[in-house]
Amino acid sequence: MTRFVRTSGKTLFYLSVLAAVLMTAGCKSDKGKKAPAIGEAFVGPITLDVRDELAPNAKVVGKAQHGDRLQILQVRRRFVKVRTPAGVEGWTDTRKLLSTGQMNDLKELANRAAKIPSMGRATVYDTLNMHAEPNRYAASFYQVTPGMPVEVLIRRVTERTPPPPPEPIIKKPPVVKKPKEKKEKREPRFPPPPMPAPPPVPKNWMELSKTDLLDEADDKKDKGEEGDEPKKPAVFEDWTLVRSKDGKAGWVLSRMLQMSIPDEVAQYSEGARITSYFALAEVDDNGEKKHHWLWTTATKGGQPQDFDSFRVFIWNLRRHRYETSYIERGVQGYYPVVVEGPKFTVLLKNSEGNFYTKTFQLDGYISRWLGNAEAKPPADPLAGLFATAKAGPEASAPPPEEPKSMKDRVKAWFKNLFHR
């Protein structure tokens, strides 16, 4: 027998209020919880905009600075939802983020750059982006502003290449496919009809087996008669590693730098680009301080050597002007240039491909040659860092030429077969 409990209106009212309070508290507790992070990344550019939606024109809800650690919350194609150190959540592009490995490489670049001797100071006339690699598509994390001095360290020639695919910020585990179960083949209920007889060999099978037609087709392809577009020549760019006052190091386009040598000396560059300069000595001209200078210049960009000429300027106290003490053109010179007071040493390469050093000493107004010495090729202080950019023409070996005609291909095949 079922019993019914009679409740009053007040009891029902209190029970409904209690249920509403519990539901509201539960909603507030769920809303207050932050989504867990599934990974981390670092801000690549100088300033990063965080937007509330994936649309490029979406509202900017927050900003982050270069090097800030971001928590990754969601991933959608190449976009990620992040949480900034200030607690702001929004969407950004993964191409503007650096992984932990890339951030460590950037710090290692600054550590190595701190040990590289300076080849002179430079500045810019327009704002210039500093890249993490010698590639215009690499992450830009700093800017050199007009009048801001930077130290010139090393130079590198790289091929202009399209941007590599971005490194995945969140590495997904590999998908393991289950092996498909092999189904047993059932024999057909009725056997298939017999195979027809093969066609007879054509009478002109000897003519058809000749390779003249293939050779003609290969020759046309080599000559470009089939309408194939010729390959565009590779474009190489000059990059310079620079170091700022606060220790940041990065790559900038060499042609955008202006060496900070006095204008009364720079006017004698004769259209060449000054690649390094050093003060050899200081003189006093009626209370005005002047210096004797050594500089190196390059007439063309994209060359394997760092400079093709070096020159010594002296300040003539009697004529109150700069004059040339020594000049040498048509050389293959490389960094570093070592200066010890009035004594300096340049690293050169002769026509036979051997490296040697040439040492001079400024004695008054005369640059005296002290002798030559054998030397090793210049070591790369950044070996092992940022190997994505293709090196210049000297470091890259040309690919082996493939045989053109069918006959050459057959000969090459036999040669490889019996001469292993």
pLDDT in tens, 76-115: 888 899 999 999 999 998 888 888 888 888 889 999 999 9
At 59 the pLDDT is 92
Using CA atoms, how far apart are residues 397 and 377, in angstroms rounded to an integer? 17
Above 90 in pLDDT, residue 185? no
The tokens of 272 are what?
Answer: 């060449």
For residue 336, say if its preceding peptide bond is cis, omega within 30 degrees of 0: yes
DSSP line for 265-290:
HHTTSTTPEEEEEEEEEEEEETTEEE
Q: Which residue has the higher pLDDT, 204 or 367?
A: 367
411 found inside a domain: no
CATH number of the domain that residue 49 is part of: 2.30.30.40
Above 70 in pLDDT, residue 419? no
Q: What is the mean pLDDT of residues 320-332?
A: 93
Q: Is 21 left (phi over 0), alpha (psi -120 to 50) or beta?
A: alpha
| Residue 51 CA, distance from chain mean position | 27
Q: What is the mean pLDDT of residues 349-374?
A: 93
pLDDT band at residue 401 using 50, 70 and 90 as cut-offs:
very low
Q: Which residue has the higher pLDDT, 36 or 338?
A: 338
Output the CA torsion sign for 265, 268, 274, 276. negative
At 390 the pLDDT is 56
At 47 the pLDDT is 87
pLDDT in tens, 39-57: 888 888 888 899 998 887 8
Above 50 in pLDDT, residue 397? no
Q: What is the mean pLDDT of residues 215-225?
A: 57
At 221 the pLDDT is 58
| Residue 192 CA, distance from chain mean position | 63
Using CA atoms, how far apart are residues 411 and 420, in angstroms rounded to an integer? 14
412 found inside a domain: no
Are residues 186 and 89 in contact, defined by beta-carbon separation less than 8 angstroms? no
The tokens of 189 are what?
Answer: 């209920």
Above 60 in pLDDT, residue 418? no
Above 60 in pLDDT, residue 393? no
Residue 43: give the domain boundaries: 39-98
Query: What is each CA distance from 377 to 9, 242, 335, 348, in whole angstroms?
Result: 97, 22, 10, 9
Are residues 128 and 122 in contact, defined by beta-carbon separation less than 8 angstroms? no
Above 60 in pLDDT, residue 29? no
What is residue 185's three-state secondary structure?
Answer: coil
Above 70 in pLDDT, residue 398? no
85 found inside a domain: yes
Phi, psi of 407, deg, nearest 5: -65, -45
Residues in the chain: 420
Q: What is the mean pLDDT of residues 12-26?
A: 59
pLDDT in tens, 296-315: 999 988 888 999 999 999 99
Using CA atoms, how far apart are residues 87 and 62, in angstroms rounded to an integer? 9
152 found inside a domain: no
416 found inside a domain: no
Query: What is each CA distance from 118 to 143, 176, 244, 378, in whole angstroms?
Result: 20, 52, 11, 15
Q: At what angle do helices 406-418 and 212-223 cross, to 10 degrees?
A: 100
Report the candidate in 97, 62, 64 with the shortest Cα–Cα distance to residue 80: 97
Report the candidate in 301, 153, 116 with the shortest Cα–Cα distance to residue 240: 153
Query: 41 has which bridge partners?
Result: 70
Residue matched to tokens 């009679």: 6
326 found inside a domain: yes
At 312 the pLDDT is 95
Q: Which residue has the higher pLDDT, 389 or 350?
A: 350
At 243 the pLDDT is 95
Do β-strands 39-43 and 69-76 pair in parallel, antiparallel, or remain unpaired? antiparallel
Q: Is 38 left (phi over 0), alpha (psi -120 to 50) or beta?
A: alpha
Are residues 238 and 155 in contact, defined by beta-carbon separation less than 8 angstroms? yes
Q: What is the mean pLDDT of residues 3-25?
A: 57
Phi, psi of 146, deg, nearest 5: -55, 135
At 408 the pLDDT is 67
403 found inside a domain: no
Q: What is the mean pLDDT of residues 222-243?
A: 74
Above 60 in pLDDT, residue 213? no
CB atoms within 10 A of CB 309: 19
Above 50 in pLDDT, residue 163? yes
Task: Output the average pLDDT for the chain.
Answer: 81
| Residue 70 CA, distance from chain mean position | 23
Choose the weakest-confidence range: 7-21, 57-71, 291-305: 7-21
| Count of domains for the chain | 2
Using CA atoms, how far apart are residues 247 and 243, in angstroms rounded to an integer? 6
Query: What is each CA distance from 82 to 5, 57, 67, 116, 413, in whole angstroms?
Result: 55, 18, 14, 37, 56
Q: What is the mean pLDDT of residues 348-363?
A: 93
At 195 the pLDDT is 85
pLDDT band at residue 399 using 50, 70 and 90 as cut-offs:
very low
103 found inside a domain: no
pLDDT in tens, 270-289: 889 999 999 999 999 988 99
At 400 the pLDDT is 42
pTM for the whole thing? Answer: 0.69
What is the edge-to-edge ordering of all strands in the sheet holding 121-123? 140-144, 128-131, 249-253, 236-243, 150-159, 121-123, 258-259
Choose the weakest-confidence range: 63-72, 112-121, 311-320, 394-403: 394-403
Above 80 in pLDDT, residue 383? yes
Last residue of a domain, one of 357, 374, 391: 374
